[in-house]
Amino acid sequence: MGSTTSFWFFTFILFSFLYFSTSASRAPPPAAAGPVCDSTPDPSYCKSALPNQTGNVYSYGRSSVGKSLSSSRKFLRLVQKYLRTSRGSLTVGAVRALEDCELLAGLNVDFLTAAVRAVNATSRALPEMKAEEVQTLLSGILTNQQTCLDGVKATAGSWSVKNGLSLPLAADTKLYSMSLALFTKGWVPKKKKRATWNAAGRHGGFRNGRMSLKMSSRTRAIYETASRRKLLETDGDGDDQIAVRDIVVVSQDGTGNFTTINEAIVAAPNNSASTDGYFLIFVSAGVYQEYVSIAKNKRYLMMIGDGINQTVITGNRSVVDGWTTFNSATFAVVGPGFVAVNMTFQNTAGAAKHQAVAVRSGADLSTFYLCSFEGYQDTLYTHSLRQFYRDCDIYGTVDFIFGNAAVVFQNCNLYPRLPMANQFNAITAQGRTDPNQNTGTSIHNCRITPADDLANSSFPVKTFLGRPWKEYSRTVYMQSFMDDLINPAGWRAWDGDFALNTSYYAEFGNFGPGSNTSERVDWPGFHLINDTDAGNFTAGNFVLADDWLPQTGVPYASGLTG
């Protein structure tokens, strides 16, 4: 070990020592066992982390969430110190992994700040929507931790970063898991199930799946039929209008307000509220070779294109070329309330470059309507929080819909395509790591058919509905058409018997030649469910769509369709 390496090794050890010495090492001995801790995933850890704590679940929960916020701030400072003092000695890949961790740690500080306010406000169950919001944020914190850890572990030449961050990440993950469990027990109401089946004609402010705004004559429609505050006109049936605070046009020929999408995003106001109306960016037809990132302060943006294959955002970053999976995305959004309509998102790296993301969304209450997502492995990264996709086309090979959001896909086309030789297709790889996370992938009233390259290939390719990426992976297919490309087993193991007992995979009311369940896997985690259980994974129940989707104007079915 050379002198420079030794210096950085002891520096990282010192950082880690200081990180832990300010919290764990000064704690008094564990208190006696208490019933509140028994509701957490690791009661013994709870008793040691909250020593001498007395009272009910609310006092335990407030103490835990407060400690979590303090730890999240320490971890953010630790990552920033590594970047500030060590950047020149690290590989490019290690620096990128640390930059991911910095972004994610910053989000965790924000999420926990909101959680502290919520738990300090009351010692009783919160209203359903508020409880769902905080549970979503606490679930997202665990996802952010796991993403940081995955990136650090996967980065070549970053042994020092791994040694310096792995212990703090593991310790904070235990603390965050405890906070989520205590919040769920104390503040989340026992949910009253909403309607399982869909009310006839239920949809948002679009009529029959079409916007009142005419896409084919966009400029005239935008500037003649749209006022500054209202984009869509009612048609006499009382449909909701979409509130818009401002409209800008992106056009590569210079006839709009901006020539690039990123310029338009910079011009958007910061920290808008949902009541302010959308900042609408109309992106004219063209191929935009941009890496777009919508930050957390760019809230309630709506982006409308000229149509699939007309407005195209494209890039080619990949893990093989040195990017983390997280930052390989062509288009990434974390700003809440984002809406995209009539656009194509691509990652053209190709199958040989392995993980290469077209879109990564960690935006709460985000919506994609009439969009296309095109890639191979890891096309669409539904990273975290609550999301909805309607009438979209999604192309890919291995794990091409993956992540740990609470997400509903409705009326979408899923197109497995031709992978590399000796590869298989897995449509989903869901990443739930904790039993109290309110996350999972719900695929409702969709169609699974082969893309043209797979349909025309003479090579046998096995295609599966999904596989368990993380321990509590959860995916449900409901009322969807499955073509004969689906392997009769339906689902594929990740590694040996990992997560086969703890994952939750379910099917309900599917049809088509690939929907036959007689030869499905016999894992404890696989279920054939009835309509009551399936109702838990509808848009209305799983992401509480009726409380936020109408303002987007995107059509949706709240319950099962029949």
Buried b (16+ CB within 10 A) or exposed e, 491-521: bbbbeeebbbebbbbbbbbbeeebbeeeebb
For the domain that residue 108 is a member of, what is the CATH number?
1.20.140.40
Residue 137: other Cβ atoms inside 10 A: 23
Task: Output the CA torsion 487→491→492→493 (10° steps).
Answer: -160
C-beta pairs of 526-533 under 8 Å, 24+ apart in sequence:
526/490, 526/491, 529/476, 531/196, 531/197, 531/560, 532/196, 533/506, 533/508
Sort 130 into a burial class: Cβ within 10 Å, 0-12 / 13-18 / 19+. middle
- Segments forming the whole domain that contains residue 57: 33-187
Residues with active-site annotation? 399
CA 12 to chain centre: 31
pLDDT of residue 562: 82
**443 found inside a domain:** no
* Alpha carbon distances (Å) from 40 to 183, 186, 269: 10, 12, 41
Quick one: the chain helix, strand, coil %, rounded to 5?
Answer: 35, 20, 45
Residue 44: in which H helix or E strand, if any? helix 43-49
Is 561 among the domain residues?
A: no
Other beta carbons within 10 angstroms of residue 51's beta carbon come to: 12
CA dihedral 491, 493, 498, 499 (to 10 degrees): -10
- CA–CA separation, 444 and 456 (whole Å): 27
pLDDT score at 233:
44
The structure tokens listed for 346 are 């691509």
Q: What is the pLDDT along the chain (562 residues), one digit of tens a residue?
A: 444 444 444 454 555 555 555 444 444 343 344 689 999 999 999 999 998 888 899 999 999 999 999 999 999 999 999 999 888 888 888 899 999 999 999 999 999 999 999 999 999 999 999 999 999 999 999 999 999 999 988 875 666 677 788 899 999 999 999 999 999 999 999 876 678 888 643 443 332 333 333 333 443 344 333 333 344 444 444 444 678 889 999 999 999 999 999 999 999 999 999 999 999 999 999 999 999 999 999 999 999 999 999 999 999 999 999 999 999 999 999 999 999 999 999 999 999 999 999 999 999 999 999 999 999 999 999 999 999 999 999 999 999 999 999 999 999 999 999 999 989 999 999 999 999 999 999 999 999 999 999 999 988 899 999 999 999 999 999 999 999 999 999 999 999 999 999 999 999 999 999 999 999 999 999 999 999 999 999 999 999 999 999 999 899 999 999 8
What's the N-to-C CA distance of the chain in angstroms?
Answer: 67
Q: Is residue 255 part of a domain?
A: no
What letter represents residue 111's amino acid?
Answer: F
Residue at 154 is within a domain: yes
Evaluate whether 555 touches 209 at the Cβ level (below 8 Å): yes
**Domain total for the chain?**
1
Structure-token pair, residue 459: 């090579």
How high is the pLDDT of residue 90? 86
Q: Is 61 a domain residue?
A: yes
Rounded to whole angstroms, the Cα distance separating 46 from 178 reads 7
Domain membership flag for residue 91? yes
Closest CA relative to residue 514, chosen from 468, 447, 452, 438: 447
Do residues 273 and 297 lie in contact, with contact meaning Cβ atoms separated by under 8 Å?
no
Q: Which helix (H) or strand (E) holds 59?
A: helix 57-86
Closest CA to 551 of 366, 382, 390: 366
For the beta sheet containing 526-528, the strands, ordered from the edge strand earlier in sequence to the opposite edge, are: 244-250, 278-283, 301-305, 339-341, 366-369, 386-390, 406-410, 440-444, 474-478, 504-508, 526-528
Q: Is residue 391 part of a domain?
A: no
Question: Within 10 Å of residue 271's Cβ, how many Cβ atoms?
Answer: 11
User: How many of the other CB atoms lie within 10 Å of CB of 87?
Assistant: 12
Cα–Cα dist 248/262, whole Å: 12
Q: Which residues fall within 8 angstroms of residue 48, CB to CB, at 6 or more apart? A: 27, 30
Q: Is residue 176 part of a domain?
A: yes
Q: Which DSSP letter does residue 214 get?
A: -
Using CA atoms, how far apart are residues 73 and 172, in angstroms rounded to an integer?
A: 11
In the numeric block, the tokens 């009351």 are attached to: 122
